[in-house]
């Protein structure tokens, strides 16, 4: 079923000097991160748009994000939207690394599309791996810039309510190294912890609502491998920190495109084991988790994708973890075509997948 939603008027900004009261009441509720996570439920990523590695959000081929798009996502039943943002193309040089006002205005405009729908919003730093390099040699330079970036982001969004969640890093890792996707080295994992620390400290230092804001912290490369999850340190043992993990499980089926079938008893048991591992490490020890990315590529195997999506979302929901589908806007036939929502005509290209993952959290 394709559901078409007609475009609506864009949301006007309110002088870009704070929170437009009609979109966000600015209230920080006295609730725990577990309470926040229980309300986030099922989410959707605005992938390959504001996080495109270029000067505009259309650089990777997706259309300009509109209110009609976000309305459609909210009206379909998604409670959370993750807005990945790449900042480096809009930052000035050292020592201030000033983010341009135009880029902040645009990011805030998209945040307000979601907040107008009363959605939870995850706002992060994404595709910054060219400079967020987790080595001791680079650490001081990176920490200085990270601190200045997060100070600016936190200041800009300081008056938003706790429906806005900051995610300090996306998949922090040393690109093009043998350990990039295998949990990193001891040095890399240590430095990633340092980067989270400086980011969280910068956010908290801006005060106001940010002193109580819920903040997502990722493992090395957001990996669920034992080396990564065992090394993660929550900065200051902050009680408003949420662990951010990306579990494209199993990889051969979800991303690699080397296995187009899923759904045997052993497939389900392996996925249960993955979810139980995460729960035992974090949730059972009082640390909430958000599965910030997961999905599967389209290889003309819709039935298996629906079976996998349903089982995955239900497994996450049963263990108290919201999950956020990675949608890169690509609607085609390849292992990299992860879109379920067609942003160009505002229709659900894979409504069956949307249906089962939303129902898992109802």
**Residues annotated as part of the active site:** 171, 293
What residues have CB less than 8 Å from 73, skipping those under 6 apart? 44, 81, 341
Tell me how crowded residue 95 is: count the other CB atoms within 10 A of its CB: 9
Cα angle: 135, vertex 136, 142; to 5 degrees: 70
What residues have CB less than 8 Å from 266, skipping those under 6 apart? none
The Cα–Cα gap between 173 and 188 comes to 7
User: Cβ(309)–Cβ(268) under 8 Å?
Assistant: no
User: Cβ(74)–Cβ(112) under 8 Å?
Assistant: no
Structure tokens at 145: 């810039």
Pairing, β 341-342 against β 347-348: antiparallel
What residues have CB less than 8 Å from 262, skipping those under 6 apart? 250, 253, 304, 305, 307, 308
The Cα–Cα gap between 36 and 185 comes to 32
């Amino acid at each position: 079923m394709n559901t078409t939603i007609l475009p609506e008027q864009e949301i006007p900004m309110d002088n870009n000097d704070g929170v437009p009261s009609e979109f966000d009441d600015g209230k920080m509720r006295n609730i725990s991160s577990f309470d926040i996570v229980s309300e986030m439920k099922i989410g959707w990523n605005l992938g390959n748009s504001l996080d495109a590695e270029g000067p505009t959000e259309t650089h990777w081929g997706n259309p300009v994000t509109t209110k009609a798009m976000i309305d459609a996502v909210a009206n379909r039943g998604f409670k959370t939207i993750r807005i990945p943002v790449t900042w480096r193309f809009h930052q000035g040089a050292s020592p201030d690394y000033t983010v341009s006002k135009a880029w902040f205005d645009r990011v805030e405009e998209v945040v307000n599309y979601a907040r107008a729908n009363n959605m939870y919003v995850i706002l992060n730093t994404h595709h910054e791996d060219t400079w967020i390099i987790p080595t001791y040699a680079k650490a001081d330079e990176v920490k200085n810039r990270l601190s200045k970036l997060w100070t600016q982001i936190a200041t800009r969004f300081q008056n938003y309510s706790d429906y806005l969640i900051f995610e300090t890093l996306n998949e922090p890792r040393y690109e093009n190294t043998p350990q990039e996707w295998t949990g990193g080295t001891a040095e890399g994992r240590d430095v990633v912890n340092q980067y989270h620390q400086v980011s969280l400290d910068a956010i908290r230092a801006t005060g106001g609502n940010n002193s109580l804001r819920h903040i997502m912290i990722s493992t090395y490369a957001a990996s669920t491998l034992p080396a990564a999850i065992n090394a993660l340190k929550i900065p200051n043992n902050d009680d408003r920190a949420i662990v951010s993990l990306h579990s494209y499980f199993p990889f051969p089926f979800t991303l690699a495109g080397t296995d187009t079938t899923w759904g045997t008893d052993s497939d389900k048991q392996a996925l249960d084991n993955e979810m139980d591992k995460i729960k035992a490490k974090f949730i059972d020890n009082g640390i909430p988790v958000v599965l910030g990315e997961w999905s599967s590529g389209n290889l003309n195997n819709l039935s298996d994708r629906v079976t996998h999506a349903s089982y995955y979302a239900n497994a996450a929901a049963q263990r108290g973890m919201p999950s956020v589908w990675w949608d890169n806007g690509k609607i085609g036939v390849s292992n990299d075509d992860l879109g379920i929502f067609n942003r160009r005509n505002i229709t659900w290209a894979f409504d069956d997948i949307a249906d089962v993952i939303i129902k898992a959290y109802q």
